[in-house]
Structure 1
Amino acid sequence: MTDQRFGLSRHARLGPLRLDGGATLDVVEIAYETYGTLDAEAGNAVLICHALTGDQHVASPHPRTGKPGWWTRLVGEGKPIDPARHFVVCANVLGSCMGSSGPASTDPATGRAYAMAFPVITIRDMVRAQGLLVDHLGIRTLAAVVGGSMGGMQALSWPATFPDRVRAAVVIASTARHTAQNIAFHEVGRQAIMADPRWRGGDYPADEPPAAGLAVARMAAHITYLSEIGLTEKFGRKLQGREAKGFGFDADFQVESYLRHQGLSFVDRFDANSYLYITRAMDYFDLAEEHGGTLAAAFRPTAARFCLVSFDSDWLYPTVESRHIVHALNAAGCPASFVELSSPYGHDAFLLESPAMNRVVDGFLRGGA
């Protein structure tokens, strides 16, 4: 008989979950997917953690857009994370809007969407929710936790939160805490959403979301995922569908049209309140602060191996942030490897074709077999 816990489009009702902010969720819904087969010792599980606007569909078509899984370049047959060797788990994070508990889900106490009554969450809360899921799946120890960007924050938080439950962590294009600049860009996005009259204090109907504000938030954030050289190479100052400037405020330039498209397409698949909650969780993230103010203290209890990857054109989480983590790992006595890769694509490089990144991840994961 097939184990109903495993496969695509799975849901689990778990809990209770005590949150860093002091609230408790008695029931936690987790939407997730698994790929591959859990071995007899339950020792081949790899947890993949997604970024801010990602989801559990890491290697399967997205149900709303129909697009392929968001990390099929890294996950799949013959790839570094291969369901033929690994039991792959990817869960929608707490606070998101693709089936896991968040502001868009139903509050059992009222029968209505939580909206802004949902408690503020942290990255560590997301990790603890994943811990409940790992328990549910019968996994004591993860072979590896892998993530990029916000997923990398979770991958860092896992061995700090559950030091004896993960053997390896792969942290790509990430950071151990948000800087003032990171927080500032997120605040622009949040204010764009909350300034939209349709936001209504977060209590908007599902068919009338604050689409204009969310689109602007996405546009502002998307700029931080790119690089100046990448934008110049792709767009330069080329005009969009015209031979001369229009002397108006339509999208004269290709880059304007591109950003508008990114904003408009985003609102069809994401919830505005979830965007507020997840960006706040990212801004609150400071792994050193959680462990007495010293980053090395976060890693001293664990025996996990670490692999860090950064990209030279990533100005959102530049290489200096990865080096800071490596220094803390060295101080804690943790085995750590680190590489800076060259790419013109900025922060988004971790999601794009990167043979060098794949070789690094593949070698690291096989090295612990």
Structure 2
Amino acid sequence: MPATPPASGAWRAGDPAGGRRFARIGDVSLERAGRLENVEMAYETWGTLSPSGDNAVLVLHALTGDSHVTGDAGPGHPTPGWWNGLIGPGRELDTDRWFVVAPNVLGGCQGSTGPSSPDPSSPEGRPYGSRFPYLTVRDQVNAELALTEVLGIDNWALVVGGSMGGMRALEWAIMAPDRVERLLVLASTAAATGDQIAWCSAQLMAIRCDANFNGGDYYDAAPGQGPHNGLGVARRIAHTTYRSEAEINLRFGRLPQQGENPLGGGGRFAVESYLDHHANKLTHRFDANSYLRLTETMNSHDVGRGRGGVAAALGRVTARSAIAAISSDRLYTPEQNAEIAAGIPDCAPLRVIDSPYGHDGFLVEVERVGEILVDLLGEPAQHALAAH
């Protein structure tokens, strides 16, 4: 059922173990044109909102993430939390102090309104499919602003996100500077580059060229007959950009997959098996149309659009900020993150996490991310103190 805050606006619900909730936020006007009607947002919370409402933290996920930031896989959660270890009593985002909220992004496929949701204009309640509109990052933030109102939260003590989540976090701090006290952007960019759009273009084409895509109206297909091959190819392309060249070469090199012969025997190299594995995982839990729309949304990202350029837009941020890059990230490079840090008035020097894991380092290097969170929040985590 949709969540409804108390009349006082003090939102005190919070399950330490998470648990998906849903909220109707009304219509969302879109930057490009038109609107989405009767939008629903899925979200999870940990901890309890304080009586003064000064302890709310907004965590924003990346492209194929969702609201399940921490916790085990289970009903409604096809994978474990993507930042396990950061949220909970005594951790960097200590739920004895902080009220943590993680929404599923508008356009996603894990509970929030997206292409697979029923289209209110369809008498039969058919999914949007090809009729789902183009979204920008600003549209997604507007939906999250509406969710914030439903939850009765006036201001965020911290807004944090990585990659696509970092794009939204940055837009939050520009669109609603009076509602963001602290900002942490990880492995992201102020505007999508030509190189990033090029990589995305190949992924979009892979899905659209799948014989089972049917222009995006494939939801009536028999099980297993959707555009899974195209989505799998898209994931293979993307995942290659998520890891570093050095790691892939060191980890796999030219090794054959165990028991297979790639040299004329129809078998695979080990790296091909690795990419197959990640493609198969995604096609079992993600919708191809959502992948398309969210990828297009990332391509739309440009904080300077209509604001006098990137530098002018970054100058609007009033939050105490930290920006972190991954040393081996070839998709959202340290130089792009340095531009964000240099442009925000109240920002610490760029933090570069030394990691061989490429762009995925912001998900893998949980301990280093935790250190940055502690510095920004101004207090050590209890479990970190115990370690010393």
TM-score (norm 2): 0.89
How far, CA to CA, are the matches of 1:71 and 1:290 in structure 2? 34
Say which of 122, 141, 166 aligns to 2:155: 141
Q: Does 2:287 correspond to 1:271?
A: yes
Aligned pairs for 1:1-369 (under 5 A) are 6-7=14-15, 8-62=19-73, 63=75, 66-110=78-122, 111-205=125-219, 207=223, 208-242=225-259, 244-251=261-268, 253-293=269-309, 295-329=310-344, 333-366=345-378
Task: State whether residues 311 and 349 of structure 1, in contact with CA within 8 Å, keep that contact through their aligned partners in structure 2.
Answer: yes
Q: Give the match's secondary structure for 2:178.
A: coil
Task: State whether residues 261 and 267 of structure 2, in contact with CA within 8 Å, keep that contact through their aligned partners in structure 1.
Answer: no
Task: State whether residues 5 and 137 of structure 1, in contact with CA within 8 Å, keep that contact through their aligned partners in structure 2.
Answer: no
How far, CA to CA, are the matches of 2:265 and 2:113 in structure 1? 44
Identity score, percent = 43
Cα RMSD over matched residues? 2.0
In the TM superposition, what is the alpha-carbon distance from 1:65 to its structure 2 partner? 6.1
Question: CA separation of 1:292/1:260 partners in 2, compared to 1, >3 Å: closer, same or farther?
Answer: same
How far, CA to CA, are the matches of 2:205 and 2:247 in structure 1? 28
How far, CA to CA, are the matches of 2:217 and 2:290 in structure 1? 12
In the TM superposition, what is the alpha-carbon distance from 1:257 to its structure 2 partner? 0.5
Task: State whether residues 17 and 28 of structure 1, in contact with CA within 8 Å, keep that contact through their aligned partners in structure 2.
Answer: yes
In the TM superposition, what is the alpha-carbon distance from 1:73 to its structure 2 partner? 3.1
In the TM superposition, what is the alpha-carbon distance from 1:64 to its structure 2 partner? 5.4
In the TM superposition, what is the alpha-carbon distance from 1:367 to its structure 2 partner? 6.1
In the TM superposition, what is the alpha-carbon distance from 1:116 to its structure 2 partner? 1.5
Question: CA separation of 1:25/1:6 partners in 2, compared to 1, >3 Å: closer, same or farther?
Answer: farther
How far, CA to CA, are the matches of 1:249 and 1:45 in structure 2? 54
How far, CA to CA, are the matches of 2:59 and 2:121 in structure 1? 32
Q: Post-superposition, which runs of at least 4 consecutive aligned residues in structure 1 deviate over 6 A?
A: 1-4
Question: CA separation of 1:244/1:276 partners in 2, compared to 1, >3 Å: closer, same or farther?
Answer: closer
TM-score (norm 1): 0.93
One-letter amino acid matched to 1:288:
G
In the TM superposition, what is the alpha-carbon distance from 1:291 to its structure 2 partner? 1.4
How far, CA to CA, are the matches of 1:254 and 1:13 in structure 2? 46
Task: State whether residues 190 and 276 of structure 1, in contact with CA within 8 Å, keep that contact through their aligned partners in structure 2.
Answer: yes
Task: State whether residues 48 and 146 of structure 1, in contact with CA within 8 Å, keep that contact through their aligned partners in structure 2.
Answer: yes
How far, CA to CA, are the matches of 1:299 and 1:181 in structure 2? 22
Task: State whether residues 299 and 334 of structure 1, in contact with CA within 8 Å, keep that contact through their aligned partners in structure 2.
Answer: no
How far, CA to CA, are the matches of 2:260 and 2:213 in structure 1? 38
In the TM superposition, what is the alpha-carbon distance from 1:114 to its structure 2 partner? 0.4
Deviations 1:221-242 (A, max 9, x none): 0000000111122212111113
Structure 2: unaligned runs, 5 residues or longer: 381-388
In the TM superposition, what is the alpha-carbon distance from 1:285 to its structure 2 partner? 0.3
How far, CA to CA, are the matches of 2:148 and 2:77 in structure 1? 28
Structure 1: unaligned runs, 5 residues or longer: none
Question: CA separation of 1:66/1:16 partners in 2, compared to 1, >3 Å: closer, same or farther?
Answer: closer
How far, CA to CA, are the matches of 2:171 and 2:230 in structure 1? 31
In the TM superposition, what is the alpha-carbon distance from 1:362 to its structure 2 partner? 1.1
Task: State whether residues 191 and 301 of structure 2, in contact with CA within 8 Å, keep that contact through their aligned partners in structure 1.
Answer: yes
Task: State whether residues 12 and 50 of structure 2, in contact with CA within 8 Å, keep that contact through their aligned partners in structure 1.
Answer: no
How far, CA to CA, are the matches of 1:367 and 1:149 in structure 2? 25
Q: Give the match's secondary structure for 1:323.
A: helix
Task: State whether residues 51 and 150 of structure 1, in contact with CA within 8 Å, keep that contact through their aligned partners in structure 2.
Answer: yes
Q: Give the match's secondary structure for 1:198.
A: coil
Task: State whether residues 252 and 270 of structure 2, in contact with CA within 8 Å, keep that contact through their aligned partners in structure 1.
Answer: yes
One-letter amino acid matched to 1:231:
I
How far, CA to CA, are the matches of 1:264 and 1:143 in structure 2? 38
Count of aligned pairs between the two proteins: 363
Task: State whether residues 138 and 171 of structure 2, in contact with CA within 8 Å, keep that contact through their aligned partners in structure 1.
Answer: yes
Q: Give the match's secondary structure for 1:107.
A: coil
In the TM superposition, what is the alpha-carbon distance from 1:264 to its structure 2 partner? 1.2
Task: State whether residues 164 and 302 of structure 1, in contact with CA within 8 Å, keep that contact through their aligned partners in structure 2.
Answer: no
Out of 319-328 and 2-11, give the one that drifted further: 2-11
How far, CA to CA, are the matches of 1:245 and 1:303 in structure 2? 55
How far, CA to CA, are the matches of 2:52 and 2:80 in structure 1? 31
Q: Give the match's secondary structure for 2:352.
A: strand
In the TM superposition, what is the alpha-carbon distance from 1:137 to its structure 2 partner? 0.7
Deviations 1:201-229 (A, max 9, x none): 10002633100000000010000000011
Out of 53-62 and 276-285, give the one that drifted further: 53-62
In the TM superposition, what is the alpha-carbon distance from 1:246 to its structure 2 partner? 4.3
One-letter amino acid matched to 1:31:
A
